Structure 1
Amino acid sequence: MKNSTLTALLSGLLRGLSALPYGLVARLGEALGSLLYLIPGKRRHILHTNLRLCFPEQSEAQRERLARASFQHVIRSYLERGLQWYGSAQAITDRMELDSAIDLQDRYDQPTIFLGFHFAAIEAVCMYYSIRHPVASIYTPMSDAVTEAISRERRARFGTTMIPRHGSARDILNVLKSGTPIMLAADMDFGLRDSVFVPFFGVQACTLTAVSRLAHLSGARVVPFVSEVLPGYRGYKLRIYPALPSFPSGDVRADALAMNQFLEARIRETPDQYYWVHRRFKRRPQGEAPVY
């Protein structure tokens, strides 16, 4: 099947989901997640491995419940892309609560890097912010060409400037210095280049140093934000925290550890909403065996 046909089919499916009541789509996503969780596969193996490494103090039964709930959130988030990518600005705004520790405005006195993390509602809160304020987003291109084409177009539909992760550092710095904030996520294993190994839940994790380097070069403050799926199918919450203190510190390893420690604390608040299906510990320090 040609890519154009697949694009049309996926686009049509998401458009259809965007027309359904939010609560219905959320429940369908949870039900589908429960069903797919029963099927052994690579993502379920990654999920269980991550939870075993990060929560060794939990029993097998506790980790099993957490794994099932996490998988439900992951699949639900995919179906909710319909609202996020094709729903109206008003529909997205109506489903969002905002709790910000900083004064949000179109332009900032200081360059700003919004540091996000892969929780289930990250897509929703980023779309919401782009409705309200100019923003640029550093994104990782998807391996599937069909999904990549749709996601890039739909994420930019409210004016977001999309910058690929391997794009020009000069372009990124120019955006920051222009007064437009940049959103990025740095909680995945993107390879050994510009990364260091620091603990994450007590496990050495390959962690990007790009955030502290960009902050150093641009003079930007680094403002973390977290997304939350609200109970009762009410929608989402965007929590924006104060800028990380003394960041960058001049020590990229210390900065990477500070990011991981902040993320750990937030994960412990809603552990089932984090994307544990990513291979966070894909690369290991020299001499350590693979975990997956």
Structure 2
Amino acid sequence: MSAHRQARLLVIAASLLGRLPWSWLYRLGDAVAALWRWQDARESRVARRNLELAFPGLETGQRDALHRRILRTTARQALETLKLWTRPPAANLALLRERHGEDLYDAALAAGRGVIVAAPHFGNWELLNQWLASRGPIAIVYRPPESAVGDEFLQQVRGVDNVRQVRAEGPAVRQLWKVLKDGGAVGILPDQQPKAGDGEFAPFFGVQALTMTLLSRLAERTGAPVLLAWCERIDSGPGFALHVEPAPAAIADPDPQAAVDCLNREVERIARRDPAQYQWTYKRYTLRPPGSGEANPYVKR
């Protein structure tokens, strides 16, 4: 069976799951989180290790409570996203109970200089993608899964009007440069670890993390403004607040170290709004600074 057909079957399955009422979907997410914790699954182990690294001052009980909240939020977000992917975008955008900075994005886009949206893994970034697409065409940078079926699945569920998915590979820079030069919008998830040699180390929650320079290079060389954006959960049900803010000028500093320092400070600031809504199940610190003697913190010794 072709990757396209297999992905189509996954989309159908996601659609069936997405028909569950929100309350049922969230209960299922809570059950998944409990299973992760009981089995000490990868998600549970990685989140626990990240909390040890990023919040060393927390007492054991506090860290354990945050760990539980993170797993519950992560599982809910995964199921929530399947529902968002398989419903009309207009229905999803009705979940935005608050909208802050909407005019800021529209004005930046209308200025014709291009606009770069830095969207951390906070809240629900897939809902943010759909809001951005509702304002006009946008090129979204993504890291393709290793599986061809997984990649095809993303192409199908994210393939709403106005969204162009750009693989985070060699030709991406040229494609994004052209989009910005033509006055278009580019969306980047700035807190993914790049390949060795494609970034600079900078503090993130007090730990050195290899950080992409792609965003700052695009901003510095094109003059396109950078906006920070996220969709934050604001209640226990499916309610969100959209936030769009201007990034500090230092995020486009020609000195790459100054730029990534600024970028990580801003992502950390947003994540600290509600740490449970940040993606702590991602191995952010696997690569260590050259010559530091530090080992991959996720590998048991």
Give the TM-score normalised by structure 2.
0.90
Which residue in the other structure is 1:288 paired with?
A: 294
Asked if the contact 2:102/2:244 (under 8 Å) is kept, the reply is yes
Question: What does 1:1-12 align with in structure 2 at a 5 Å threshold?
Answer: 3=3, 6-12=6-12
Match of 1:39 in 2: 39
CA separation of 1:131 and 1:24: change in aligned 2, threshold 3 A: farther
State how many pairs are aligned: 292
Correspondence for 1:278: 282
Distance 2:131 2:15 in 1: 18
My pick for the range that moved more, 245-254 or 204-213, is 245-254
**1:127–1:238 Cα change, 3 Å:** same
8 Å contact 1:124–1:236 — kept in the other structure? no
Identify the range of structure 1 (39-48 vs 272-281) with the bigger mean alpha-carbon deviation.
39-48
Taking the TM superposition and a 5 Å limit, the aligned residue runs for 1:1-292 are 3=3, 6-96=6-96, 97-100=98-101, 102-105=103-106, 107-166=110-169, 167-286=171-290, 287-292=293-298
For 1:134, the aligned partner's letter is: P
Q: Residues 268 and 104 (structure 1 numbering): CA distance in 2 closer, same or farther, change over 3 Å?
A: closer
Separation in 2, partners of 1:42, 1:243? 34
CA apart distance, 1:101? 6.5
Aligned equivalents of 1:225, 1:130: Cα separation in 2: 13
> What SS does structure 1 have at the residue aligned with 2:289?
coil
Contact 2:251 2:258 in 1 (8 A): no
Q: Is this contact kept in 1: 2:17–2:83, CA < 8 A?
A: yes
Q: Verify the 8 A CA contact 1:135 1:180 in the aligned structure 2.
A: yes
Alpha-carbon offset, residue 133 of structure 1: 2.4
Inter-CA distance 16–108: structure 2 relative to 1 (3 Å threshold): farther
In the TM superposition, what is the alpha-carbon distance from 1:2 to its structure 2 partner? 6.9
CA contact (8 A) 1:101 1:242 kept: no
Q: Measured at CA, do residues 27 and 179 of structure 1 come closer, stay the same or move farther in structure 2, by a change above 3 Å?
A: farther
Distance 1:243 1:4 in 2: 39
Is the partner of 1:247 in helix, strand or coil? helix
Instruction: Decide whether the 8 Å contact of 1:73 with 1:273 is kept in 2.
Output: yes
Aligned residues of 2:125 and 2:231 also touching (Cα < 8 A):
yes
Structure 1: distance between partners of 2:20 and 2:156: 22
Supply the distance in 1 between the matched residues of 2:190 and 2:166 (Cα, whole angstroms): 15
SS in 2 for 1:223: strand
Q: Distance between the aligned counterparts of 2:6 and 2:272, measured in 1?
A: 38
With the length of structure 1 as denominator, give the TM-score of the two structures. Answer: 0.93
CA RMSD of aligned residues (A): 1.9
3-state DSSP of counterpart to 2:39:
coil
Aligned residues: percent identity? 28
Query: Separation in 2 of the partners of 1:51 and 1:231?
Result: 24
* Worse-superposed segment, 96-105 or 206-215: 96-105
Could you report, residue by residue, the CA deviation over 1:105-155 in whole angstroms, capped at 9, with x for unpaired residues? Answer: 253332210001112411122122212322111111012322221112221
> Are the counterparts in 1 of residues 105 and 244 from structure 2 also a CA contact under 8 Å?
no
Structure 1 alignment gaps of length 5 or more: none
**Amino acid in the other structure paired with 2:297:** V
CA distance in 2, matches of 1:234, 1:290: 37
Q: Is the 8 A contact 1:114 1:183 kept in 2?
A: yes
Q: 1:36 to 1:42 in 2, by over 3 A?
A: closer
